[in-house]
């Protein structure tokens, strides 16, 4: 094998992940260059903790989009980063609990009846933002950035391209539906003259990413901690997926406790620099299954490539020129897909919603999360995803399960 083969394969893996990696910070207002840097650093830290045994790449987590949007609007980016560091600590604590109590501990604390509706809330809670951006408005709908008719045409083209590539494409292209949608939408935006290149012209070739130091605000921390539930469970699914692809049991070696801790430390490190929290990327797992190269060193080169590109100032500026309708069209599919993951969790695990206990947990969680329920005493308040996450866990722990068991035994 050529000495250049591993670096080239590493760069290819970053290309597969690139669309999703940069879309998340673009939606939330974070710096794309910082996201590239923290994806690279996070992956290297993950490899250090897991003894470089798992061929997986970590980058921007979509599960945190809604909480980050709310956090940035309410407390600002530094305080939001402090909350995300706390969410990363939850991963580390879960990893410690798994090491002490075994893998089944996660399934007892976070069964599908808890995780499913929380993930659904994360996806559907973002629906208005996606539609507003697809119509050429800001995420909150307060102002118009692109004429509605033109915005709708571009957003639908981006959306349809993403769908067509995801369903009908073959080979490596099939793994890049988001990037394909961005390219088509961007080309149409260029044709209609709504792309402003002045930031790219003004940007230097070499530039430091816009790092942001975290601040610690107790409300932001309490808000973010429950959000870690969904990606923690998603992490387990991703580790099982890469285990099946590589024909190795990574749950046992290096162990789920190490992979969870690695993901948590990566998220803490990302928030330290002002980047989005990290998660394992299933797109890259798909690319690995296609290339059949299970060497974790490839992911080391993917991480190094991401870190190098983070310091290319013109690349970061180019990402900022992507018009709102392009992102809005893709988000219509993306956020719906997040909600579908939660729904699939309920279906795959055969959660019986005819059982009053399960119906109560799922129903209350969905209404609290989507309806915007809020509890507050003085300055202390809980709402949205954090509230529905806590409510789902408490209801699962407190509501008796024996009625369900008796019913099953008959």
In this predicted model, what pLDDT tens digit does every residue of 338-379 receive, in sequence order?
Answer: 788 788 889 988 999 999 999 999 999 999 988 888 776 655
Report yes or no on whether pTM surpasses 0.85.
no
Q: What is the CA radius of gyration of the chain?
A: 21
The predicted pLDDT at position 376 comes to 66
First-to-last CA distance in the chain?
62
Residue for token digits 């988000």? 331
Mean pLDDT of 128-138: 88
What stretch of H or E contains 60? strand 58-60
> Which range, 43-52, 273-282, 335-344, 381-390, has the best average confidence (pLDDT)?
43-52
- Kindly report the average pLDDT of the chain as a whole number: 86
Q: Among candidates 68, 97, 390, 115, which has minimal Cα distance to 264?
A: 97
Dist. CA 58–CA 361, nearest whole Å:
32
């Amino acid at each position: 094998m050529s000495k250049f083969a591993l670096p080239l394969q590493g760069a290819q893996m970053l290309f597969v992940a690139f669309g999703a990696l940069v879309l998340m910070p673009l939606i939330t207002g974070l710096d794309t260059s910082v996201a590239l840097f923290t994806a690279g650093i996070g992956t290297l830290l993950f490899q250090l903790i897991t003894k470089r045994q798992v061929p997986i790449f970590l980058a921007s987590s979509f599960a945190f989009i809604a909480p980050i949007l709310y956090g940035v609007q309410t407390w600002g980016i530094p305080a939001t980063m402090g909350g995300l560091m706390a969410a990363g600590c939850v991963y580390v604590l879960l990893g410690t609990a798994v090491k002490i109590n075994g893998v089944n501990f996660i399934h007892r604390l976070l069964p599908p009846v808890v995780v499913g509706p929380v993930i659904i809330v994360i996806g559907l809670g973002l629906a208005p933002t996606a539609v507003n951006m697809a119509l050429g408005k800001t995420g909150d709908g307060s102002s118009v950035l692109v004429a509605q008719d033109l915005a709708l045409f571009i957003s639908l083209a981006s959306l349809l391209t993403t769908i067509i590539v995801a369903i009908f494409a073959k080979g490596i292209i099939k793994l890049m539906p988001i990037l394909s949608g961005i390219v088509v939408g961007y080309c149409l935006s260029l044709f209609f003259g709504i792309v402003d290149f002045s930031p790219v012209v003004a940007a230097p070739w070499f530039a430091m990413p816009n790092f942001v130091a975290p601040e610690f605000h107790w409300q932001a921390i309490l808000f973010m901690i429950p959000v870690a539930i969904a990606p923690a469970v998603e992490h387990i699914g991703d580790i099982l997926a890469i285990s099946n692809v590589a024909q190795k049991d990574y749950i046992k070696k290096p162990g789920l406790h190490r992979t969870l801790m690695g993901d948590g430390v990566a998220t803490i490190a990302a928030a330290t620099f002002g980047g989005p929290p990290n998660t394992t990327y299933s797109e890259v797992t798909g690319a690995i299954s296609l290339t059949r190269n299970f060497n974790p060193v490839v992911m080391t080169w993917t991480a190094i490539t991401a870190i190098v590109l983070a310091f290319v100032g013109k690349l970061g500026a180019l990402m900022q020129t992507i018009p709102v309708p392009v992102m809005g069209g893709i988000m219509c599919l993306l956020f719906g897909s997040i909600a579908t993951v939660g729904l699939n969790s309920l279906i795959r695990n055969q959660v019986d919603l005819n059982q009053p206990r399960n119906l109560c947990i799922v129903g209350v969680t969905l209404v609290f999360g989507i309806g915007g329920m809020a509890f507050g005493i003085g300055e202390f308040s809980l709402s949205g995803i954090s509230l529905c996450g806590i409510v789902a866990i408490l209801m699962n722990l407190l509501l008796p399960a024996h009625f369900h068991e008796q019913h099953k035994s008959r």
